[in-house]
Amino acid sequence: MSKGKVPFLDLITVHRELEQELLVVFKSAIETAGFIGGPLVQRFEREFADFCESRFCVGMANGTDALRLALIAAGVKAGDTVVTVPLTFFATTEAISQAGAHIDFVDVDERTYTMDPEKLRAYLETECTRDSRSNRVVSKRTGGPVTAVIPVHLYGQMADMDPILDLATRFDLVVIEDACQAHGAEYFSAREGRWRKAGSMGRAAAFSFYPGKNLGACGEAGAVTTDDEGLARRCQMLRDHGQSAKYLHDIEGYNARLDAIQAGVLSVKLPHLAKWNEQRRERARSYDEFFAATEQPVTVPHIPSWSRPVYHLYVVRAPERDRLLNDLAAAGVGTGIHYPVPLHLTKAYEALRFRPGDFPAAEQTASQAVSLPMFPGLSHEQQRRVVAEVLHSIAAAEPAARISSCSSGLR
C-alpha cells in the first residue's frame, strides 16, 4: 500500500486552479478601493439568492453573525427561548444567547444526526405549557416563550423539514435554518411535492463561507437568505449599525458587513459549486461501496429518500474512537471530530444544568464520530487507502469494536 499522506481537506489545489480569476478580484478591489459593500457584494447576493432559490440574500461578515442577525430580524427578543439541537457547532447556540434568548435543546435522530421532529413534538407538548394570555408555548425549563426553532443541516444533510415546519405552524414558531454546512443540499418536501434547496424553507437561513465549507471564501464570510423582504431589509440595517441611509441610525445594529473582496471571491467560486457538490457525492458513494464490499460490519451512510446531501463531511462512527484516530494519524490519514462534546455538556453551559443522558443520540454520536477525508479532489486511490487503514484498525481491535458509517458535515 502506498504510504503517501491523505489530507483531511485540500484547500490549496482549488485556489491554485482559480488563482488568475481570484487575482482579478483583488486587483479590481484595489483599483477601485471598493472594499466594503458596493457592486461585488450586490452581485454575489443576487447570485447566491438564485442558487438557493430564495428571493433575497444579505451578505454578512460570517455565519455566526448571519444566524444571530436572522434571529433578531425575525423578531426573537431578550427572554425568549429558541430550541435547537445539541449536536452542532457552538456558533448555533452562541447566536441564540447573543440575541438575548434562552437555549433549549431537543435530541437529534440517531441515524441522520439532524433534529428529530418527534422529539421536537414531544418537547413542545410535554416540556412546555401554554400561556393562557398570550397563547404562546412557554418552556418549563427556561420560563421564556418559545418563539423560534433552529434545525441544523448537519454534515451537509438537511433536517427533516416538513414535520418541523408543521410543528412550527402549530406552535407559532419562527424557523431559522442553520445551513452553514449545507450549500446546495436538497430536501424533498412531500407536502409540496418538490425538491427544496437548503436556505429556502425556513423564514430565513444562515450560511457560513468559512474557507473549509463547500463554498468557502478566502477569509471570513456569511449570508442570510430569506423570502421575506422586511426581514431582509432588517438584516441589511442590523449588519450596518442600524443605518437606513448614511449616518441615519434607525435602530442600534452591529458591524457585520460582508467584505467586498470576499464577495468577489465567492462569485468566482459559486459557478463551480454544483460540480464540487457532485464530486463530493461521488466520493461518498465510493466510500459507501468500498465499505460495503468488505467483511467488516461497516454501516453505510443513512440518506433518507427525502435527502440529497452535499457531504460537507463524511463521518463514520467508531466505538473505539481514540484507537482509530491514533491508527489513522500514524498512517498519515487526516481526520476530524465533529463534534467531540455535545453542546448541553459543554463547559460554557454548565450553569444550564443539563446532565449526561439528557440527549442520548447526540451524546453517542459525539463520542464515536470520526470525519474521514472528504473534498472534491480526493482521488479514488486516496479513498482506497483511507478505507484500508480504517479496516486494518478495526480488524486489529477487540471484536466489540465495530464501526458504523454515516454521511456527515465539517467546520
Ligand X SMILES: Cc1ncc(COP(=O)(O)O)c(C=O)c1O
Query: Which residues here bind ligand X, judged by CB under 6 A?
Result: 62-64, 67, 88-89, 91-92, 152, 178, 180-181, 208, 210, 222, 411
The Cβ-side half-sphere exposure at 215, using a 13 Å CA radius, reads 32
Q: How far apart are CA 346 and CA 344, in angstroms?
A: 6
Residue nearest ligand X, CB atom distance: 63
Q: Provide, rounded to whole angstroms, the least separation between the CB of residue 301 and ligand X.
A: 18
H or E element at residue 19: helix 19-32
Q: Provide, rounded to whole angstroms, the least separation between the CB of residue 242 and ligand X.
A: 21
61 or 331: CB nearest ligand X: 61
Under 8 Å between Cβ of 243 and 82: no
164 or 390: CB nearest ligand X: 164
Which residues, 6 or more positions from 295, have their beta carbon under 8 angstroms from its beta carbon?
none
How close are the terminal C-alpha atoms of the chain, in Å?
A: 30
Cell 437606513 sits at which residue? 244
Q: Provide, rounded to whole angstroms, the least separation between the CB of residue 319 and ligand X.
A: 25
208 or 408: CB nearest ligand X: 208
62 or 383: CB nearest ligand X: 62
Under 8 Å between Cβ of 220 and 61: yes
The Cβ-side half-sphere exposure at 364, using a 13 Å CA radius, reads 13
206 or 387: CB nearest ligand X: 206
Cell of 275: 460540480
180 or 361: CB nearest ligand X: 180
* C-alpha triplet 349, 353, 355: angle, nearest 5°: 100
Q: Provide, rounded to whole angstroms, the least separation between the CB of residue 393 and ligand X.
A: 27
92 or 200: CB nearest ligand X: 92
8-state DSSP, 190: T
Q: Provide, rounded to whole angstroms, the least separation between the CB of residue 130 and ligand X.
A: 31
Q: Provide, rounded to whole angstroms, the least separation between the CB of residue 297 and ligand X.
A: 30
Q: Provide, rounded to whole angstroms, the least separation between the CB of residue 133 and ligand X.
A: 35
Task: Count CB neighbours of 169 within 10 A.
Answer: 10
Q: How far apart are CA 65 and CA 209, in angstroms?
A: 12
Radius of gyration of the chain (CA): 21
Helix (H, G, I), strand (E, B) or coil at 44: helix
